[in-house]
A and B are shown apart, each in its own frame.
Chain A
């Protein structure tokens, strides 16, 4: 699992690649939250994530609760059909705005 980060205007774009499970989720979480200052606008690009365990789902929700608790916003982009289904069936998707592409996600912040 790798996490890369860049800035597009006011938006922190975080791209995750690989698998997010119990062994990788803590690292992903701390890297994402390191940019989560107050009022943060965070876009997480999931297009290169092909598997996410229960711990991965929780990592995303922890990020959501942390960021939204500080007045910020999180959107997800590029969820595979499998991931979208899993997140939807387990109720996690209810918390997120999600978009097909990074561009569409960026537009959502404007």
Chain B
């Protein structure tokens, strides 16, 4: 039975048309044609602008007839389009009245906010034609990828180890040895490496289409080209993967290439999280370019001051008006699209506190967008992670509106561990909280609310954290003014690289100490790309503008720092082997299963007697294996002694139940290969009464 709506009812020049369907917004393949739909609350007219792919001038402009508008939505089906051969945009007319928030300009061709592929930056770094009347061009895609039986993996959050990485940086360096460097396909070639390391989730820095040339400039001193948007935190379109991140981007196949990567990662047990940026767009403020939202419906999409200027809670010129109902729906549509069409497993929201502000900038106690995301049917199994602060001074670590769903980047975890690691006093009380997934912050939200990290793309790498006291951002061309000064780092005695074997040995030990603390903490660990092999940014803690060795992973380090890599991957295996380290709910400090031991107990140089004093640099704890996963799983007992003092200390060990003995799992103070043992192969400790823990060292034991 043929449908009635496959017949055109209108014509414009040679184009055959029919009134479209308002939903879904954007361009959707319809029988015999394409349904175009765009919303604007204040436009007075709208045209569809069609280009032959890459052509400098439009080949047609089709005004939406009046009868094609329902409410504030213009929709139209255009028949017989070769969807691979065209690009499309919209031209809207309406008031120019900035005080009222309106900036319509019918001389501009505007990109569809729902564009599923965007042309114009098809190959990374290829200089565009700056005179092009339509820089970032909406394209059509087939959403018909053949997933077989794949779907998001739904690995329990407590079992994840997240690996934060940048698509280009991961394999662009010639040492990566991949056939397709710097793109999605390059990651696919490195899946065996990710599996060997033992991570089961990669979190990609933004992959929504962005313009790597935005804010590009020359370093006035060196003449070196700086890529202002290397990390990609300035979004052009929320529905389109970056073409320049696909080897097949020049063929317009980035959608399929990214989906193929997700499918292959899933086949290997690795989830995919996206770092998403809904706090601002690449359109800047009143001096910025017209790309899309500004010309389609400025007043709806941006937070504006009473005078019509742009609020700047993101620190980048504008702020997306996330709690306007229309914008909120766009964000929801976007995330549902990525979850359903791309099988994305989770999202990390950049400057997420902005998503909880009302249209006038005030923080909301019950933000509709965050609530909608938390209760959305399609996103129900997706992990939602907030960067719980913004550039407007809102800091919500521990208080982000969570609705039982949201986890947070735990910035306090990072700060506490760094301070304890370098030997600061007054930290043991805080450390006890951090090691338990910060119940002081997330009392009612459980251990999985805490995404634990010591390093992230923003700030020092782990190697640099133990090699530099100060940031060294001169290469950013701002006289070292940019980037945070609060690094809580310690160079171990010399600023930067050194040949001093003592200092290098200490740095190696400190990196192992940090990785150990991260991987034995309750909560969800996140590792920064390359920290497992000692990646350096040469002391730069803000490498947002470098398309070079400052960001690219040098894979030669894998051999140079083989000792570190072996340690980290074995410590990851240790975490995966022990449910006691991966509780969903907070430990209670009490015995709830009748084992005779509390789930967690605190110790020091004396067993059962931790030194909580303000001058202590020592802390030890024991996890009772019978309490693993709330008592639902049986595990070994685990004992961890952390000595961040500059002298070695004798730690008296807590006694185990009869029949069990302590075995050495790791000791960062011991030379390899005795620094760590494969799970199951831990040697019996000769002296069951105590152990000497070297200066600035961590010991991990298993009782079995």
| Chain A residues with a Cβ under 8 A of chain B | 21-23, 53-55, 57-58, 61, 65, 85-86, 89-92, 94-95
Contact = CB atoms under 8 A, between A and B. Distances in A.
Given A86-B251, A91-B263, A54 B180 contact: no
A95 B253 CA distance: 17
Interface residues of B, number: 24
Contact of A91 (B85, B180, B260): B260
A89 B185 contact: yes
Contact of A22 (B82, B144, B185): B82
A85 B257 CA distance: 11
Given A54-B253, A57-B256, A89 B247 contact: yes
Chain A contact surface mostly: helix
Contacts of B248: 86, 89-90
Contact of B257 (A23, A61, A90): A90
A22 B85 contact: yes
Contacts of A89: 180, 184-185, 188, 246-248, 253, 257, 260
Contact of A95 (B142, B146, B246, B256): B146
Contacts of A54: 84, 142, 251-253, 256
B83 interface: yes
17 contacts: A21-B84, A22-B83, A22-B85, A53-B84, A53-B251, A53-B252, A54-B251, A54-B253, A55-B84, A57-B256, A58-B144, A85-B247, A86-B251, A91-B146, A91-B259, A91-B264, A95-B146
Contacts of A95: 146
A61 B253 contact: no
Nearest to B86: A22
Contacts of A85: 247
Contacts of B259: 91
A62 B252 CA distance: 20
Contacts of A65: 146
Max count, chain B CB within 10 A of own CB: residue among A21, A22, A91:
A91
B256 A91 contact: yes
B256 A90 contact: yes
Contacts of B375: none
Contacts of A86: 248, 251, 253
**Residue among A22, A54, A85, A89 with max Cβ neighbours from chain B (10 Å):** A89
B614 to A, nearest CB: 58
Contacts of A55: 84, 142
Contacts of A21: 84
Interface string B181-201: 000110010000000000000
A50 B140 CA distance: 23
A1 to B, nearest CB: 14
Contacts of A91: 145-146, 256-257, 259-260, 263-264
Nearest to A95: B146
A102 to B, nearest CB: 26
Nearest to A25: B84
A55 to B, nearest CB: 6
Contact of A58 (B82, B85, B142, B185): B142
Contacts of B185: 89
Interface string B231-259: 00000000000000011100111001101
A65 B145 CA distance: 13
Given A53-B251, A90-B257, 17 more contacts: A21-B84, A22-B85, A23-B85, A54-B252, A58-B142, A61-B146, A65-B146, A85-B247, A86-B248, A89-B248, A89-B253, A90-B248, A90-B253, A91-B264, A92-B256, A94-B260, A95-B146
B144, B246, B260, B263 pick with most chain A CB within 10 angstroms: B260
Contacts of A53: 84, 251-252
